[in-house]
Structure 1
């Protein structure tokens, strides 16, 4: 049943193809949701879709990608498809994203900012465990580099 719901969300979506436009649309989406723009550092994007009515988004890339967020020393793995239901400052029912905790990969199901003034972003797993980090750790690395040079 869940896959039928997801499929119907795809049917009425804005869909973009090609790395350049997909990267631009993913950054616009994160900005629109008031989430840090470096949260989804995907490469070789082939498709981005967004159903505004249902709040469903998906991003497809050619290959899986691992990315290390240097400021928090965390490795995150992004599958070839990442999807979520989105709303302001939140991604729910997230699929395709895992964080390395010690020796294990933990699936992430929620990303949210409860209080923007706190400067904190929380990542939750399907088991109910969560971790909170500084929002600044997920800025685009170009932006972070520019800030450190000034």
Structure 2
């Protein structure tokens, strides 16, 4: 009888190992940046300051930061405290909580798509236009500056995010 119990224990231990290995919980598998890479997107689409995220089974992604913050890719970009999107392979669609400055206007980013990674380009749909940027701009997660002192283009701003809008 002890040999039978040993075999059962070994079987369930091995089975548990494979289940955890093949279907690990998201919180153990990776950061949000690793998740983006696994979905064919560059890690630098989201800032280093991401505190947590949730991803539902249907691909609905919610990314949480401590508060709104600014960074710069080609132009200035504003992340809200929560950024939401539908995550599929090589795309974030229906984005909410991300704006990009274009010609002194803040426009919401609607979709972010990598059609062909070999092209070296990523497409940003900002509603009124589609903007293609170099994927190299998004290799490394950027620092994102919260309200307070910001320094961009050699100018100091002391009034926080409202001064940038």
TM-score (norm 1): 0.71
Q: Displacement, 1:34?
A: 1.1
List per-residue Cα deviations over 1:47-76 (Å, max 9, x = no partner).
31011x21111111111010012xx3x110
Distance 2:139 2:124 in 1: 15
C-alpha distance after superposition, 1:29-50 (max 9, x if no partner): 11111111111015262x3101
Aligned 1:1-150 pairs, distance under 5 A = 25-43=31-49, 45=51, 47-51=52-56, 53-69=57-73, 72=74, 74-125=75-126, 127-140=127-140
SS of the residue 1:114 aligns to: coil
Which structure has the bigger radius of gyration? Answer: 2
What is the alpha-carbon distance in structure 2 between the residues aligned to residue 35 and residue 67 of structure 1?
18
Which structure is higher in strand share? 1
Distance 1:119 1:60 in 2: 28
- Unmatched runs of 5 consecutive residues or more in structure 1: 1-13, 143-150
Q: Secondary structure of 1:38's partner?
A: helix
Q: Which runs of 5+ in 2 are unaligned?
A: 1-24, 143-165
**Aligned counterparts of 1:141 and 1:66: Cα–Cα separation in 2:** 13
Distance 1:110 1:67 in 2: 18
TM-score by length of 2: 0.65
Paired residues, what number? 117
- Structure 1 segments (4+ residues) deviating >2 Å: none
Contact 2:39–2:90 (Cα < 8 Å) also in 1: yes
| RMSD, matched Cα | 2.0
